[in-house]
């Protein structure tokens, strides 16, 4: 996707599929509804913006997305890291928080991502 100039912006387990039979070694990425080009028509990288708002699923999205920054390849990779840790551990530290207010929950998830050390996360 990145080699074609696009970022997914919603990397999460639900958007991965594994092929069957002769395609069982292929992992497919689905749901491109939030995808966006990171290249302009002239081939240059899009301008930085910090007024986009959170795009994607708060549980997996990058710290920069939580801050409202325009997403780029780095953000897909950070989200993929969270997905891989989830697959390995079966959970992420910010899952199952008992917070009902959606905005407050997003804020707490961001703070936890910001403050956690790699050893605690993995």
Element holding 67 (H helix, E strand): none
First-residue to last-residue Cα distance in the chain? 27
10 catalytic? Reply is: yes
Cβ 76 vs Cβ 38: under 8 Å: no
Alpha helices in 3-117 (DSSP H): 63-66, 73-89, 102-115
Catalytic residue from among 10, 51, 76, 115: 10
Residues tagged active-site? 10
């Amino acid at each position: 996707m990145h080699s074609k100039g696009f970022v997914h912006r919603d990397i999460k387990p639900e958007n991965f599929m594994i092929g069957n039979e002769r395609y069982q070694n292929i992992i497919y990425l689905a749901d491109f509804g939030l995808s966006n080009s990171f290249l302009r028509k002239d081939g240059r990288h899009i301008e930085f913006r910090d007024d986009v708002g959170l795009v994607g699923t708060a549980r997996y999205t990058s710290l920069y997305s939580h801050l409202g920054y325009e997403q780029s390849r780095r953000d897909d990779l950070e989200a993929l890291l969270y997905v891989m840790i989830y697959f390995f551990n079966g959970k992420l530290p910010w899952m199952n928080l008992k917070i009902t207010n959606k905005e407050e929950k997003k804020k707490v998830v961001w703070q936890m991502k910001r403050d956690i050390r790699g050893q605690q996360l993995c």
